[in-house]
Amino acid sequence: MEQSNPVGRQFKNDYPLKRADTCSGMKAGQLQYELDAMISVFVEQNPTTYLEVGCRYGDTFYDVMTSLPKGSFGCAVDLPNSYWGGDTEDYLKETCEELKAMGYRIELILGNSLDQETIDKVKSLGPFDIALLDGDHRYEGIKGDFEAYSPLCNLVAFHDIVGHGQRHSEGIYVEVPRFWSEIKHTNCVEIIEEGSKMGIGIWTKQDQ
């Protein structure tokens, strides 16, 4: 189906819905339509390398990886028990093991994505065709992730581009919309289901 988006480009969402449940069995972190549309835009690039920063249980990581050809490489970065997270380390490890058993090449980095040590490890594993930044949603967090990881990636997706007001705890706000409004350009894609308080923005290096 054709979907217009406020930034300007059109994308074709013909990616079939495939998972009613998350692999962790927990509440999905994404709206199904937005997730499927993001994957649809991703697969147009014929990617074989994927970076996800902020994976929680690994549900989206699993869905994106299993949309890529077997043998593709995925790098998962997460700091369990941090903002917008919880005690998810064992689930994420299980997800990674399941993907490896299916024939994917997987690296799991447990650490703060903003630390130089993590950035250096990810750099040594890059570059990446596609990425999703979904970790620290505070302004300095998402800005730091974008500055560290976008040079390694052709296409960078952001979750929660309409997430104004969603709090993790007192005084901690989703500030992705503010950062997104600063970097979006006419070839970016916005995927926002009607009434969504999340939304996904996809930034591309090309034709800036």
Ligand X SMILES: C[S@@+](CC[C@H](N)C(=O)[O-])C[C@H]1O[C@@H](n2cnc3c(N)ncnc32)[C@H](O)[C@@H]1O
Q: If binding is defined by CB under 6 A, does position 177 make contact with ligand X? A: no
Candidates 1-9, 36-44, 128-136, 178-186 — which segment interacts with ligand X by CB under 6 A?
Answer: 128-136
Q: If binding is defined by CB under 6 A, does position 79 make contact with ligand X? A: yes
Closest separation in Å from C-beta 151 to ligand X: 18
Give me the phi and psi of 130, to 5 degrees please. -140, 155
Candidate list 34, 37, 39, 54; residue touching ligand X; CB under 6 A: 54
Candidate list 3, 67, 82, 150; residue touching ligand X; CB under 6 A: 82
Candidate list 40, 49, 95, 113; residue touching ligand X; CB under 6 A: 113
Closest separation in Å from C-beta 123 to ligand X: 15
Q: If binding is defined by CB under 6 A, does position 199 make contact with ligand X? A: no
Phi-psi sector, 71: left (phi>0), alpha (psi -120 to 50), beta: left
Q: If binding is defined by CB under 6 A, does position 60 make contact with ligand X? A: yes
128-133 and 105-110 beta bridge pairing: unpaired
Q: If binding is defined by CB under 6 A, does position 126 make contact with ligand X? A: no
Q: Which is nearer to ligand X, 40 or 60 (CB)?
A: 60
Q: If binding is defined by CB under 6 A, does position 148 make contact with ligand X? A: no
Give me the phi and psi of 149, to 5 degrees please. -105, -25
Closest separation in Å from C-beta 146 to ligand X: 13
Query: Under DSSP, is residue 161 helix (H, G, I), strand (E, B) or coil?
Result: coil
Upper half-sphere CA count for residue 56 (Cβ side, 13 Å): 20
> How far is the CA of 126 from the CAs of 37, 46, 62, 74, in angstroms?
25, 16, 19, 10
Q: If binding is defined by CB under 6 A, does position 107 make contact with ligand X? A: no
Inter-residue contact 60 to 35 (CB < 8 Å)? yes
Query: What is d(CA 194, CA 207) in angstroms, rounded to the nearest whole number?
Result: 29
Residues with Cβ within 8 Å of 17's Cβ and at least 6 positions away in sequence, in order, are 32, 36
Q: If binding is defined by CB under 6 A, does position 13 make contact with ligand X? A: no
Q: If binding is defined by CB under 6 A, does position 77 make contact with ligand X? A: yes
Q: Which residues bind ligand X (CB under 6 A)?
A: 29-30, 54-56, 59-60, 77-80, 82-85, 88, 112-114, 134-136, 141
